[in-house]
Amino acid sequence: MEYNKEIKNRLKRIEGQIKGVLGMMEQGKDCKSVVSQLSAARNAIDRAIAVIVSTNLEHCLRESMEKGESTDHFVKEAVELLVKSR
């Protein structure tokens, strides 16, 4: 699967958030601020995972339907990936 620009941009923003957290730590910012930013990064990662899984699911379903194959296992696998990521 080829990852689109939207997904890559999401990950670049997350990378910026993590670098920002490291900078906050270097500056000696308080624990509450650091944890707050880490939590925001984690939420962004969760959203990125959801976008990646749903995009992949859509791709697999389309491909499988075009071939007249069953799609049940793709949905099950996507759900398992989402559950595992939490």
Task: Please give the full DSSP string across 27-79, using - where no structure is assigned.
Answer: TT--HHHHHHHHHHHHHHHHHHHHHHHHHHHHHHHHHHHHTT---HHHHHHHH
Domain borders along the chain are 3-83
The pTM for the full model equals 0.81
What's the confidence (pLDDT) of residue 23? 97
Q: What is the pLDDT of residue 36?
A: 97
Residues of the chain where predicted confidence (pLDDT) is lower than 50: none
CATH for 3-83, among 1.20.58.1000, 3.40.50.850, 3.90.650.10, 3.20.190.10? Answer: 1.20.58.1000
